[in-house]
Amino acid sequence: MNLGEELISAFGNGRMTGVNPAVYLDDYRKRLSRLGPQVLSKEVLICERDPARFLAALAVALAERARIFLGNPGWGEEEWGQAGAYVRPQSVFGSALLKASQDGSSPRQTEGPIIAIPTGGTGGRVRFASHTEATLRAAAQGFVQHFGGGPIDSWSGLPCFHVSGLMPVIRGVQSGGTFNWASELDPARVPRDGGTTTVLSLVPTQLARLMKQAGMSELLRRFSIILVGGAALSGTLRNHAREAGLPLAPSYGMTETAAAICLVRPSEFLAGDDSSGKPLPQVRIQVEGAASQSGSEGRLLVETPTLFRGYCSESAPPPSPWPTEDTGYLDAAGRLFVTGRIRATINTGGEKVDPQEGEKVLVAMGLAEEAHVFGIPNREWGELVAAVYVPAASEFKEYRNFRELMKKKLAGHKIPKHWISVTEIPRNSRGKPDPGLIHELVERNKGMISDQ
């Protein structure tokens, strides 16, 4: 039984709640049948916003071993223009600004079924990471093994066209557990110590919003594991979650690795572990150029059976070990600490700036609840350092003293020159700062941007 057939079986035997994909199966089977008998060689674009329709379309396409591309219903013309360089589908399920191709041509050379998952990376440009049923199954298996085996009852309201929303479905179904769609948490549906391992998948923004709701911490404590990924936890949110006794499992992973490859167990998190955890089974993480792994910092290299098979724009497979865009180190206990990004560097007047340094200082000094530091193009300096921030208190809405305060912690060229105070940092559906929305914010505030 392939993964699509397993999903279809789960639709019909009560192992999915909150969604009912089964009612759409016949529709997608009929639409796929129009491609003729050679579905294996056909490309199908799935761009369904509704989770039930998405899962039904995915299951049918997987069962027929089609070449599957996942699209984001929220993309605009720019993103669809970028996606069109890689995707020429013979069938389109959902609403997309790409039409089905009549000539059957393809810009790729790779063979066989794939599940191509979109990723924007730090540059914000759309790319597709090619996964297979084997890589996704390996990722689900490693997750289950990390937590002792047995069925997983998986809960998520994350968009299924992102890897962080797709993997909860696969973990629940493949482990023999359930998948529960939960865009909002209904106390009547959340189990009370039911004897199974219950995993709620969130991004940090969702966690922060839930914790602000009255009585929600008690509800969150009913879960065995609250998996948090997609972006780093702020120190403030981490501490609040720990004080509330929430069973968090902070993680490290990416689209290219089929989500999490390192995880902190909830007991470790509650005991004060601020790392990204230890690698999952079958995952090996190295530090580039490090003579000794313990404490040496550098680019992170990954070896894992969950690694993608390459970007759809490239014919060559990724190297192994695969060089990530992240820097970090492993401590003597084998725990991973992620320290920064390779390509997030801002170049201002020939000086290189790691945005995360400024972000961490702003939060650590109690000036901001959250901060996102980035570069604004400038003819003279190349880039100027800028910050979008959520003030930690009303007296910090004015940035006037920030520069002097931050000079105690950072060199002058690392301190933002432009400041925009916001109530919430613009983020995408994966919880990461959205480059496009932040660019729009800068454009709207050009005449009013605080400048030191």
Are 19 and 89 members of one domain?
yes
Structure tokens at 417: 């020159």
In a shared domain, residues 105 and 187: no
pLDDT tens track for 174-218: 999 999 999 889 898 888 876 789 999 998 888 988 998 988 999
Question: Per-residue DSSP letters for 226-264?
Answer: EEE-SSPPPHHHHHHHHHTT--EEEEEEEGGGTEEEEE-
Q: Which residue is associated with the tokens 């984001």?
A: 72
Spatial contact of 16 and 122, defined as CB atoms under 8 Å apart: no
Do 247 and 193 fall into the same domain? yes
pLDDT reported for residue 109 = 43
Q: Which residue has the tokens 């955890």?
A: 277
At 400, list the tokens. 């006037």
Q: What is the spatial distance between Cα 353 and Cα 213, in angstroms, rounded to a whole number?
A: 37
Residue 122 is assigned to a structural domain of this protein = no
Q: Are 12 and 36 members of one domain?
A: yes
Report if residue 128 sits inside a domain: no
**Among 15, 94, 88, CA closest to 53:** 94
pTM of the model: 0.82
- Does some domain include residue 123? no
Tell me which H or E stretch contains 351. strand 351-353
* H or E, element range at 157: none
Tell whether 125 is covered by a domain. Answer: no
What CATH number corresponds to the domain at position 205?
A: 3.40.50.12780
Q: Domain range for residue 290? A: 134-341
Residues 6+ apart with CB under 8 A from 432: 203, 230, 231
The pLDDT of residue 406 is: 86
Same domain, 167 and 258: yes
Which among 341, 370, 397 is the end of a domain? Answer: 341
Indicate whether 337 and 376 sit together in one domain: no
DSSP character at residue 427? B
Residue 143 lies in a domain: yes
- Specify if 94 maps to a domain: yes
Q: Both 333 and 357 in a single domain?
A: no
Q: Which residues have C-beta within 8 Å of that of residue 439, sequence separation ≥ 6?
A: none
Paired strand residues for 218:
none
Sign (positive/negative) of CA torsion 224, 230, 235, 240?
negative
304 lies in a domain?
yes
CA quadruple 312, 317, 322, 327: dihedral positive or negative? negative
Same domain, 44 and 68: yes
Is residue 81 located within the same domain as residue 169? no
> Domain containing 414 — which CATH number?
3.30.300.30
- 265 and 395 in a single domain? The answer is no
Any domain includes 190: yes
Q: CA 10, CA 6: separation in Å to the nearest integer?
A: 6
Q: Is 188 helix (H, G, I), strand (E, B) or coil?
A: coil
The C-alpha angle with vertex 436 and arms to 232 and 89, in degrees rounded to 5, equals 100
What does the pLDDT read at residue 317? 86
pLDDT by residue for the chain (452 residues), tens only, comes to: 899 999 999 999 989 999 999 999 999 999 998 887 766 668 999 999 999 999 999 999 999 999 999 999 888 877 788 888 888 898 999 998 888 875 555 545 455 689 999 986 444 578 899 999 999 999 999 999 999 999 999 999 999 999 999 999 999 999 999 999 998 898 988 888 767 899 999 988 889 889 989 889 999 999 999 999 987 787 888 999 999 999 999 999 999 999 999 999 999 999 999 999 999 999 999 999 876 667 788 999 999 999 999 998 777 789 989 999 899 999 999 999 998 877 777 878 767 788 888 898 898 888 898 999 999 887 678 788 999 999 887 666 666 678 888 887 887 888 898 899 899 999 887 788 888 888 888 888 765 455 44
- The domain total for the chain is 3
Given 341, 363, 381, which residue is the final one in a domain? 341
**Gap between the Cα atoms of 433 and 228, Å rounded:** 16
Q: Are 262 and 281 in contact (CB under 8 A)?
A: no
Chosen domain end from 341, 360, 387:
341
Assess whether 183 and 208 both reside in one domain: yes
Specify whether 308 is located in the same domain as 375: no
Record the tokens describing residue 432, joined without a space.
Answer: 């990461």
